[in-house]
Amino acid sequence: MSVIEVGQQVVTMVNVFTVAPENQRRLVELIVEATETVMRDVDGFISANIHSSLDGTRVVNYAQWRSVEHFEAMHRNPLVHPHFTDIRAIASPEMHLYRVDYVEEVAAVR
């Protein structure tokens, strides 16, 4: 379970991958694999939340890191590079870092 809230000590990465529908499942598997074998042990990792679009053409990784510095250090970690190479072979990432400005929740679904 991950939480979106204003004022948390996190930086949010939203990475939208464009993918051919026939590769969408494989892409989700590769990102899960990268998360489980490397990312979750990297200093500053908080969460990864992997979503697949209903139309088959996108995968979103909504990830939370402790700080921009932690996120940038992850990119210098050689263990992550083979995973990025595998992912980029079948998908085009579009990645930005964000702050949370506003949260409105009207109905608890839990």
Q: Indicate the SS3 state at residue 72.
A: helix
Answer yes or no: are the C-beta atoms of 15 and 71 closer than 8 Å. no
Q: Which of 75, 76, 78, 106 binds a copy of itself (CB under 8 A)?
A: 106
Question: Of the ranges 57-65, 72-80, 81-89, which one interacts with a copy of itself (CB under 8 A)?
Answer: 57-65
d(CA 97, CA 71): 9
∠ Cα 65 68 84 (to 5°) = 70
- Least CB distance from residue 31 to a copy of itself, whole Å? 8
Which residue in 23, 26, 38, 52 binds a copy of itself (CB under 8 A)? 52
Question: Does 74 help bind a copy of itself (rule: CB under 8 A)?
Answer: no
